[in-house]
Amino acid sequence: MSSTLSARVQSLGLTLEPAAGPAANYVSKVQVGDLLFISGQVPRRNGEAVFLGRVGDTLSEEEGRQAARQAALCVLAQLADAVGDDLARVARVVRLGVFVACPPDFQRQSTVADGASDLMVDVLGDAGRHARTAVGVASLPRGVAVEVEAIVQIKP
């Protein structure tokens, strides 16, 4: 396995964008002891929000999975920023929270959230296996389809 998060992501044919700053009155990440709490990340490319709309309405379930994957890449960018891109400092992903903008009758939030979960395992192996919550919501910031937050255990 590569020694940096960015190299591991790149080996999968993906790219980490620079970690984004907060969009309002909060911080992007907070460390308490060995736990890193990463604020909700929306799917971005080149600094712009992507995958706008609602899954099961204007976006397909597969597009929702892609949105979750892209938002999870932004979570990994925050993680890389926090650990100096040192993969050895990542003990495990403890929990992901995945919020899916969707109509009230959409019931496949967990399938959409698999886009984020699968990426964590692809990048981090067993350390990427985590507890998870996937919920449907009426809308999300910037009109995106998915938002992902994380709790990650890190090493000194």
**What are residue 144's phi and psi, to 5 degrees?**
-75, 160
- The predicted-structure confidence for 19-54, as pLDDT tens digits, reads as follows 999 989 999 999 999 999 999 999 999 999 999 999
What b/e readout covers 102-135, taking b as 16+ CB neighbours within 10 angstroms? beeebebbebbbbbbbebbebbbeebbebebebe
Report which residue type is found at 95.
Answer: R
Q: Domains in the chain, please, with CATH? A: 5-11+26-154 (3.30.1330.40)
Q: Give the pLDDT of residue 1.
A: 52
Cα separation, 64 vs 102, in Å, equals: 10
Q: What is the residue-level pLDDT of the chain in tens, covering all 156 positions?
A: 579 999 999 999 999 989 999 989 999 999 999 999 999 999 999 999 999 999 999 999 999 999 999 999 999 999 999 999 999 999 999 999 999 999 999 999 999 999 999 999 999 999 999 999 999 999 999 999 999 999 999 999
Q: Say which residue the tokens 């929702």 belong to.
A: 64
Cα separation, 42 vs 61, in Å, equals: 17
